[in-house]
Copies of this chain bind each other. A is one copy, B any other.
Amino acid sequence: MNEVSQKELEGTLTQTKTLAGKVYESIKAEIIRGELSQGSKIVESELAFKYGISRGPLREAIHRLEQMKLILRVPHAGSRVVTLDIKTMHDIYTAREALEGMAARLAARHMSDEAIVSLQNLLDTHEQVISESDGKTYLQEEGNIDFHHRIASASQNQWILENLNGELYQLIRMCRYQSGQQPTRPAKALAQHRQIAFAIEQRDEELAELLMRRHISGAWKIVKTILELQND
């Protein structure tokens, strides 16, 4: 295990001022990238030494990771990195379907006309990227997230926004990263995004929610297939 220098800790644009915050971001990234493997044990003194800090702020970082459900902690027995089995991921996608469906409904209700135009411009950009790179559609993945981020923001519901962009997003990113998922049929996803955006433009709450739920439900089926292949 290597130590981490102070400069590395700063990382890319960490706006947290406390040690606990910085180390939290670092460990979170390690878990998502799989450098701390699923189910592996977290020993406080080891990590504290690795990051060159004392156990105090490290413990705070661990608590925050526990809150994000990235690690599992049991009193007096330590912590382990979460294990993303199929059942867990299914639960997460189902919760996401409920919340993001509602977010789409709220977006259809609250999104400003300018924001809707901007959303459709974003989709135009995605279309260009897809047609241009034709195979290297990696960027689409980030763009995909961007679309869902905008819907969540437009819901203007703080609770839903925080949970979609926080806990659920991190876990899905971790699963996606570690299973090496390719962007799944970007053209099809784009078409669905356009449908949703259209429903929002029409202020059709019912349809916006329905389409978003189908979209996420479809995404889960693909993820499920990938995960099942890997577990055999």
CB distance from A84 to the nearest CB of B (A): 12
- Which one of B94, B106, B158 lies within 8 Å of A160 (CB-CB)? B94
Residue of B at shortest CB range from A96? B159
CB distance from A93 to the nearest CB of B (A): 10
What band does the interface of chain A fall in when counting residues whose beta carbon is under 8 Å from B? Answer: 20 to 34
- Bits for A9-43, please: 1 = Cβ < 8 Å to B, else 0: 00000001110010000000000000000000000
Q: How many of these chains are in the complex?
A: 2
Stretch in A58-66, A131-139, A181-189 with 4+ CB within 8 Å of B: A58-66
CB distance from A90 to the nearest CB of B (A): 8
Interface check A97, CB cutoff 8 A: yes
Please list 9 pairs of residues, one from A and one from B, whose beta carbons are closer than 8 Å in the complex, sorted by A's number. Answer: A17-B75, A63-B63, A94-B102, A94-B157, A95-B157, A95-B159, A95-B160, A95-B163, A98-B102
